Homo-oligomer: A and B are copies of this chain.
Amino acid sequence: MQILDGKNLSLKENENLKNELYNYIQTPILAIISIGKNDSNDIYINNKRKACEQVGISLLHFHYDEDIEEKTIIKKIKELNKDNSINGIIVQLPIPKKYDVRKIINTIDPVKDVDALSDVSMGKLMSGNNEFIPCTPRGILELLDYYKIPLESKNVVVIGRSDLVGKPIALECLKRNATVTLCHSYTKNLKEYTKKADILIVCVGKKYFIDKDMIKKDSVIIDVGINRVDGKIYGDVNPNVSEICSYLTPVPGGVGPMTVTMLLKNTVESYKIMNKRDIKKPNLD
């Protein structure tokens, strides 16, 4: 069994990005909007800040208290859309329920929508004309590519159907000619599906939801879960699957760090789309 080492690959990719950005005239900027108090969000935003600093992307964080009016957030996003120095805009989810999250996200200019969550971005993803692959799905695909694990004609089973992970990874695997099954809380006889999966992608949010009895011999197991229990982090997959599978993403150190790196890569790609002219520093030697 081989570990799909997302931590190591993300460090390599960050290093490449850093070297690439060193030659740029301008520093790409990622703007993050967050609303209300949320400890998990603080951790995620902090990870993003650290990663941005590592590679040389500026992070602008706009935090609002829960008494902020929706129109103020909309106005801020419109300003960020207009500002040519801003390359990526994300809303750290979840936001408090009283806000219309779809309206807020749909305000983001598709070129800067590096999480690819607006209607236009999702539609482009569905028709296969997308600028960006959402960060977690892209992180999974790059891990599979790095370890030369092909998707074509493979039986891919995705558990979980969120807009952020389940649905987009299903569509991207489909685009790469995998046969794809989407399972979820209403699925009956889940084991019958997971037992046949060449590649099993688990994004459920329950500690050790998948056990070695549920998987196929020599399969590839992608664990997207990040479950905090008593201060420790656990995946959706019991590590005992390593007795059966051929590849496994560890938690932590698998999909998580790849997701953050893909946010950086998407931001740099937006930068490139926005600056189609020569973006390298002039050679003054």
- Interface hits, A157-216 → B, CB 8 Å: 161, 163, 167, 170-171, 174, 177-184, 186-188, 192-193, 196
| CA–CA, A167 and B127, complex, Å | 9
| CA–CA, A167 and B188, complex, Å | 22
Classify chain A's interface size.
35 or more
| CA–CA, A123 and B131, complex, Å | 14
Judge whether A123 and B118 touch: CB under 8 Å.
yes
What residue in chain B is nearest A127 (Cβ atoms)?
B163
A141-157, CB under 8 A of B: which get 1 and which 0?
00000000000110100
| CA–CA, A184 and B121, complex, Å | 24
Which residues on B sit within 8 Å (CB–CB) of A163? 126-127
Select which of B126, B181, B184, B193 is within 8 A of A177 by beta carbon.
Answer: B184
- How distant is A161 from chain B, measured CB to nearest CB, in Å? 6
- How distant is A154 from chain B, measured CB to nearest CB, in Å? 9
What residue in chain B is nearest A170 (Cβ atoms)?
B182
- How distant is A111 from chain B, measured CB to nearest CB, in Å? 13
A226 at the interface (CB under 8 A from B): no
Judge whether B187 and A153 touch: CB under 8 Å.
yes
- Interface hits, A1-39 → B, CB 8 Å: none
- How distant is A219 from chain B, measured CB to nearest CB, in Å? 15
| CA–CA, A118 and B124, complex, Å | 9
Judge whether A180 and B181 touch: CB under 8 Å.
yes
Select which of B122, B182, B188, B193 is within 8 A of A127 by beta carbon.
Answer: B122
A109-123, CB under 8 A of B: which get 1 and which 0?
000000000111111
Judge whether A179 and B181 touch: CB under 8 Å.
yes
Judge whether A186 and B123 touch: CB under 8 Å.
no
A71 at the interface (CB under 8 A from B): no
A129 at the interface (CB under 8 A from B): yes
Which residue of A121, A126, A177 has the most chain B CB atoms within 10 A of its CB atom? A126
Judge whether B193 and A184 touch: CB under 8 Å.
no
Judge whether B179 and A182 touch: CB under 8 Å.
yes
Judge whether B188 and A153 touch: CB under 8 Å.
yes
- How distant is A285 from chain B, measured CB to nearest CB, in Å? 43
Which residues on B sit within 8 Å (CB–CB) of A170? 182
Across the A-B interface, give the 9 residue pairs with the lowest CB-CB distance, nearest first. A119-B123, A123-B123, A122-B123, A177-B186, A181-B181, A122-B126, A179-B187, A119-B120, A153-B186
User: Can you list 6 A-B contacts with CB-CB less than 8 angstroms, sorted by A residue number?
Assistant: A119-B129, A126-B126, A152-B186, A174-B184, A177-B186, A179-B182
